[in-house]
Amino acid sequence: MAFPERFSNLPDYAFPRLRKLLDHHAPGGAPIAMTIGEPRHPMPDFVGPILAANLDGFAVYPNNDGTPELLAAISAWIGRRYGVTLAADNLMVLNGTREGLFNALVALSPETKAGKKPVVLMPNPFYQVYAVAALTVGADPVYVPATAATGFLPDYAALPVDVLDRVTVAYICSPANPQGAVASRDYWATLLALAEKHDFTVFADECYSEIWRSAPPPGVLEVAAATGTNPERVFSFHSLSKRSNLPGLRSGFVAGGRAGIAQIRKLRSFAGAPLPQPIQAVSAAAWADEAHVDVSRALYQEKFNTAAKVFAGLQGFQVPEGGFFLWLPVEDGETAALTLWQKTGVRVLPGAYLSRDVNGDNPGKAYIRVALVAPKEEMQRGLVQLRDCLYG
């Protein structure tokens, strides 16, 4: 059976690709995994008791849009965090942000724009679901460099007018994966003005919003409210995976204009997988509680400080303002990852696996991504071995 042509040029996903690169080589020491962004801080204490108290919820079909309790908890969190009031019909519960980032594009990106094939913008490097979603809806994915020269965020305004006029959706991640760059209020306002001018929608992937070093990152919802942006132009995606150390819960939400959320809900009712009721009960408690988030953030800030000491003086190194990855410069990411594995057992991800070649250039090729998710002592040991192996 033939693979659909629109997916025929997809590379292997990052982690199967990494296994092909490394797994037939013996590690040079006790393995330390610093590849996947899977939080390993303790999950909140209330998860088990709430699941146990709601086990009978597995015996019924889940609420497609989200239980009233969960939607209320999400709305209250948005109000506390961003100072924006959103009703339940501005919200949709998700099986994690990846599901939402994909299905929202299916629901909201039209088949044509101004009589032409649509364009979906995304930073390069990027979270890989953006590209697959664009291909699924028959759009041209346009990979826009997010490099040191642009502050590790894409400069969409620099694109040609004929491209911008075909855009239906622009993805943006802040704090950025993998670089940790944070979109400022001015950046958001400029992007929203561009969306108004060229009639496209912004999909803001903000799943790392609660992991920051010095100040809470501004959110697209607060900037959109302050600038009077049409609510239907802005959809913000959040998750409990990073915020609450619950990646296996597969729980998140999208917030945006009522008409767009109605379309997303409608598509989910036909083809989606609603969140089980016990999971929704845990999620409501997680969005209502900040204490566990503060504790986890403090641990990440300690890790940022450790990384700053380990790599002090390294040219091109900077501690990210958000997220939990280091984006480290090397001569070649694949070569560096293989050398590091063979000599030390430390496992990192080549930056090119998160990027695409554009005009012969891959903006991730000369980087490796390092996840600061392991326990602090293990993480520090891995960083020291990495430094001594690649930069010593």
**How confident is the model at residue 316, as a pLDDT?**
82
Provide the pairing of β-strand 349-350 with 167-173: unpaired
319 or 1: which carries more pLDDT confidence? 319
Domains of the chain: 5-42+292-390 (3.90.1150.10), 47-289 (3.40.640.10)
Reply yes or no on whether the pLDDT at 349 is more than 80. yes
pTM: 0.97
Tell me how crowded residue 80 is: count the other CB atoms within 10 A of its CB: 11
Q: Cα separation of 49 and 45, whole Å? A: 8
Q: Cα separation of 60 and 80, whole Å? A: 32
Dihedral class, residue 250 (left if φ above 0, else alpha if ψ from -120 to 50, else beta): left
Percent of the chain with pLDDT over 70: 99
224-277 pLDDT per residue, tens: 999 999 999 999 999 999 999 999 999 999 999 999 999 999 999 998 889 999
Q: Give residues with Cβ within 8 angstroms of 112, minimum separation 6.
A: 118
The mean pLDDT of the chain is 96
Where does the pLDDT of residue 7 fall: very low under 50, low under 70, confident under 90, or very high at 90 and above?
confident
Say if residues 74 and 228 touch (Cβ distance below 8 Å). Answer: no
Q: Cα separation of 129 and 144, whole Å? A: 15
Reply yes or no on whether the pLDDT at 212 is more than 80. yes
